[in-house]
Amino acid sequence: MQRVCFQMELIPGREAEYQRRHDEIWPELVAELRSAGVRNYTLFRLDTTVIAYAECHPDAATAFGKVASTEVDARWTRWFSDVLVCDAQGAVARAEAAEVWHLE
């Protein structure tokens, strides 16, 4: 199991829409996340900064790679392109944090 933490940025003024869309999260996306091995996935927001935490089995690359290969994730990602800051290729811009310490 690998714990991951990463940061994304919202387009200023889109905070309420970001929340609304997560209030209505698609059950099929949740099912894909669980099936792929993503657990304890939590999003925190501070102004336009979103901080994500997840526990991934067996690791983040495998779990999120499985999710990324699904049709539902492709639709979700497209749907969020007007809410999240994206890079030049259209992918959500994110910065991963290094784990320093953990208390079990």
Q: How many residues does the chain have?
A: 104
- State the Cα–Cα distance between residues 58 and 7, nearest whole angstrom: 21
Is 57 assigned a catalytic role?
no
Burial of 70 (0-12, 13-18, 19+ CB in 10 A): middle
Active-site residue, selected from the candidate residues 1, 3, 20, 22: 22
The residues carrying an active-site annotation are 22
